[in-house]
Structure 1
Amino acid sequence: MTTLEAARGTPDMVHLRSLAEVAELVRLTAPLYVRFSAGPEADVTTRSRDHESGCVLPGLSVNPLSPEPWWDRPLEHWLARQLYQYAHLMTPERFPWVLTGEIAGRGPDCEPLLVRTTPVASVDRAVVDEAVATYARVFRPGEDGT
């Protein structure tokens, strides 16, 4: 059984297969976050660590799926950007999954650090592929926005 198959079997976790399904979930439940790891069961005993300093962080490093109030573009664009930015963390042993929890602090990249987490959904690789394609279509990376 692969890690992703195991995550699909986690009680109360749905498996999201499209960016539209992720958006629907975010519209229904907020705040939500995404984490790329071996999954919720593995993260029960895992501590996030800042790779540059070696410091152990006081929560799981995550990225927000719920957009900031200033975001005036489609939700799918926000989601594509959030998934695209961390798609490089995806490996056969690591996959994206959606969770909620309590913010215990911020990491070195200002990312939320969650404690008392609740797994919500696993995210299919096809969603990450869709996010990468959407990102390439709707954003202009590298341009100065000032």
Structure 2
Amino acid sequence: MHDHERPPKAMPQVGSLDELTGLIAGRTGVYVRWSLGPAADLPSVSSRDDLTGIAMPGLSASALDVEPWWGERPLRLWIARRLYDYAHLPAAKDRRVRPWLLHGTQIGRGPDNEPLLTDVVPVA
């Protein structure tokens, strides 16, 4: 196993949707990113548009904050829906691709309207 495949030692592992829901509950500003992990992403803090190959000014991620229109629906369902959007990436890109949670400062939006983040801090 290469270093970029291992999460930083201090980064907790989330083993279930229920555990993730508990971790997210009451927090804002948490994003999920599907990649080889923080060790692979943080040296450059830049994503590349898959279609054009153009480097973007931050890491692409998906916000886990619940939108107001979601109302009183379960947080667990919201998180499952957000994870589902990119669950195909390990099969499509690399079997080592996994979701990881982070905080960051939004610097812009990518071509799919996804947030681009800088000042990234891994969460789990």
Using the size of structure 2 for normalisation, the TM-score is 0.86
Asked if 2 retains the 8 angstrom alpha-carbon contact of 1:3 and 1:39, the reply is no
Unaligned stretches of 5+ residues in structure 2: none
Structure number with the higher helix fraction is 1
Asked if 2 retains the 8 angstrom alpha-carbon contact of 1:33 and 1:62, the reply is yes
Matching residue within 104, 110, 118 for 2:121: 118
Query: Match for 1:105: what amino acid?
Result: G
1:67 is matched with which residue?
A: 66
- Partner Cα distance (2:50, 2:105) in 1: 23
1:99 is matched with which residue?
A: 102
Structure 1 residues 4 and 71 mapped into 2: Cα distance closer, same or farther (>3 Å)?
farther
- Partner Cα distance (1:70, 1:2) in 2: 42
RMSD: 1.8
1:27 is matched with which residue?
A: 25
When Rg is computed on C-alpha atoms for both structures, the one with the higher figure is 1
Is 1:53 the counterpart of 2:52? The answer is yes
Structure 1 residues 79 and 4 mapped into 2: Cα distance closer, same or farther (>3 Å)?
farther
> Aligned to 1:114, what secondary structure does the other structure show?
strand
Query: Match for 2:109: what amino acid?
Result: R
Q: How many residue pairs are counted as aligned between the two chains?
A: 119
Percent identity between matched residues is: 47
- Partner Cα distance (1:22, 1:81) in 2: 13
Unaligned stretches of 5+ residues in structure 1: 122-146
* TM superposition shift of 1:81: 0.9
